[in-house]
């Protein structure tokens, strides 16, 4: 068995997989009766050096099946929908994960920074609070990020 399935097999992603669709499909947006599912519009992006606009979902789908260790950075001004788009992407992954009983796809880890600076602490300390929300072992998450090209949208500052 390769390293990737070994790392994944020890993860108990149930809480994480349940939380993502709840947040996207059912949680109400502040002060309204609307959900993200009801209001989401797929954003369009430009690739560096290319003026063509592409649906972000298409770019993410291509990246998801890319077997290289290529990372993907999504940048935009505050309030442009980066976190919402990533929640949608991770929710779609979670639905496939439930349907297939755990897929061989990359595991996207939605770790929202929102006022945190991961460079101010060591990676294990930074991941601990996030992992605790889902009853995950932060060391296993760090091993997944560092140890396998099957990791999801893992961009770690150096």
Give the whole-angstrom CA distance, residue 4 versus residue 146.
Answer: 11
> Greater confidence, 143 or 154?
143
Residue 4: per-residue pLDDT: 47
Helix (H, G, I), strand (E, B) or coil at 11: coil
* Domain-embedded: residue 156: no
Q: What is the pTM of this model?
A: 0.79
Residue 107: per-residue pLDDT: 84
* Domain-embedded: residue 155: no
Model confidence at 8, pLDDT cuts 50, 70, 90, reads low
* Domain-embedded: residue 100: yes
Model confidence at 145, pLDDT cuts 50, 70, 90, reads confident
* Domain-embedded: residue 154: no
Q: Residues 28-58: pLDDT tens digits?
A: 998 899 999 999 999 999 988 899 999 999 9
* Domain-embedded: residue 99: yes
Work out how many domains the chain is built from and give that number: 1
Q: Are 6 and 150 in contact (CB under 8 A)?
A: no
Residue 70: per-residue pLDDT: 78
* Domain-embedded: residue 42: yes
pLDDT over 70 (residue 9):
no
Q: Are 80 and 43 in contact (CB under 8 A)?
A: yes
Beta-bridge partner residues of 151: 107
Q: Residues 59-114: pLDDT tens digits?
A: 998 888 888 877 788 888 888 888 899 999 999 999 999 998 776 777 889 988 87
Eight-class DSSP state of 81: S
Residue 140: how many CB atoms within 10 A of its CB? 17
Residue 10: per-residue pLDDT: 67
Residue 132: per-residue pLDDT: 95
Residue 26: which domain range? 3-147
Eight-class DSSP state of 69: -
Model confidence at 22, pLDDT cuts 50, 70, 90, reads very high
């Amino acid at each position: 068995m390769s390293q990737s399935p070994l790392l994944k097999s020890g993860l108990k992603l149930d809480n994480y997989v349940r939380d993502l669709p709840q947040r996207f499909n059912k949680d109400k947006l502040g002060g309204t009766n609307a959900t993200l599912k009801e209001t989401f519009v797929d954003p369009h992006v430009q690739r560096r050096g290319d003026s063509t606009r592409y649906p972000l979902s298409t770019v993410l789908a291509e990246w998801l099946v890319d077997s290289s260790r290529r990372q993907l950075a999504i940048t935009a001004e505050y309030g442009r929908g980066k976190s919402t788009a990533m929640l949608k992407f991770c929710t779609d992954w979670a639905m496939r994960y439930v349907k297939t009983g755990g897929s061989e796809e990359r595991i996207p880890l939605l770790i929202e920074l929102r006022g945190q600076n991961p460079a101010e602490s060591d990676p294990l300390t930074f991941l601990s609070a996030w992992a605790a929300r889902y009853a995950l072992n932060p060391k296993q998450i760090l091993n997944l990020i560092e140890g396998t090209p099957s990791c999801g949208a893992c961009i770690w500052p150096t």
